[in-house]
Amino acid sequence: MSELLNGSVPLEAYLLLAAVLFCTGVWGLINSRNAVRVLMSIELMLNAVNINLMAFSSYVDGDLIRGQVFAVFVITVAAAEAAVGLAILLSLYRNRVTVDMERFNLLRW
Amino acid sequence: MTIAASTQLICFLVLAAVVAIGGLGVVLLSNIVYSAFLLGGVFMAVAGLYLLLNASFVAAAQVLVYVGAVNVLILFAIMLVNKREDLAPIPGLQTRRLLSGGVCAGLFALLVRVALTTPWAVPGPQAVGEGSTVRIGEHLFTDYLLPFELASVLLLMAMIGAIVLARRDVQATDLGTGQAADQGLIEKSRTPLLVDQPPS
């Protein structure tokens, strides 16, 4: 807390922000009924993880900024995930003419 | 060189407010187009946070990949599937929302406790600052070379997979011989296969 008084941003602030963003993403992932919004929630969660990685890289890792390298890889995987996810979504929409998650229930017991 | 401390704090507070409120808006707004544009705003704010952390390369990658590619892709998907549909009410939706809200609040409490009680090793060694781009390049071509190459293979696989998944399977003419394809196959590919009966 002494860091907050002398004006610089403490590491915990970044961690708390990432926690807020991650929990928002989890809630949206569970509760969205639009399939596109589910994909957006996943992107929010990935961004929260990236904020954590970058904060640790900057505050703890010093000269070796391994967190930034990991963040670059996470961004790569997120781009691939978005492309495949949206292609699956289009294919689903073509077959069922809806984006309602509640009606994608072919594998439900 | 770092920005002066108080300016840094104010920038962080503004960006954090944008990220938190924008994230809530992405999840809660009923119009999906507004959600998509808010998501772009959240991505830009996160890039700003990266700039505050002296990571200019990752900030640029965030803007290029997330705002430039992922967000535009999501907007395209919304345009392709944007049909006004009245979602059928399902029983127990409110209970489910409350339950999942409770679970997320518990997760948040856990994360906050971990973040506040762990004795982080700060202040760590002196951060690299402006030289981070050079350092990332050195990492990518020495000790992270194998993940870097695997990432390129992954992107190729994702690209081919997306094309295969999203294209229509039946062409109007045979690609090899140029003859017209079977009309029945074309009709079959146009009609949705798995449409269930509308709930009565």
For residue B73, what pLDDT is reported? 92
Average pLDDT over residues B25-52: 94
Provide the b/e sequence for B61-96 (b: ≥16 CB within 10 Å): bbbebbbeebbebbbebbeebeeeeeeeeeeeeeee
Q: How confident is the model at residue B165 (pLDDT cuts 50, 70, 90)?
A: confident
Residue B179 pLDDT exceeds 80: no
The answer to whether the CB atoms of B24 and A24 lie below 8 A apart is yes
* Whether the predicted pLDDT of B200 surpasses 50: no
Rounded to two decimals, the ipTM of the complex is: 0.91
Per-residue pLDDT tens over the stretch B47-97: 999 999 889 999 999 999 999 999 999 999 998 887 777 777 888 888 999
Nearest chain B alpha carbon to A22: B108
Cα–Cα distance for residue pair B12/A35, rounded to 1 Å: 32
Round to whole Å and give the CA distance between B122 and A103: 49
Report CB contact under 8 Å: A20, B58: no
Give the minimum alpha-carbon distance from A7 to chain B in angstroms, rounded to a whole number.
5
A51 vs B49, B57, B161: nearest CB:
B49
- Which CA distances in Å does B106 have to A27, B27, B49, B100, B112? 12, 18, 26, 10, 10
| Cα–Cα dist B80/B95, whole Å | 32
Higher pLDDT, A46 or B189: A46
Mean pLDDT in residue range B171-183: 68
* pLDDT tens digits for range A50-105: 999 999 998 888 788 889 999 999 999 999 999 999 999 988 888 777 888 888 87
Q: How far is B156 from chain A (nearest CA, A)?
A: 9
Quickly state the pLDDT bin for B16 (edges 50, 70, 90).
very high
HEC profile for chain A? CHHHHCCCCCHHHHHHHHHHHHHHHHHHHHHCCEHHHHHHHHHHHHHHHHHHHHHHHHHCCCCCCHHHHHHHHHHHHHHHHHHHHHHHHHHHHHHHCCCEHHHCCCCCC
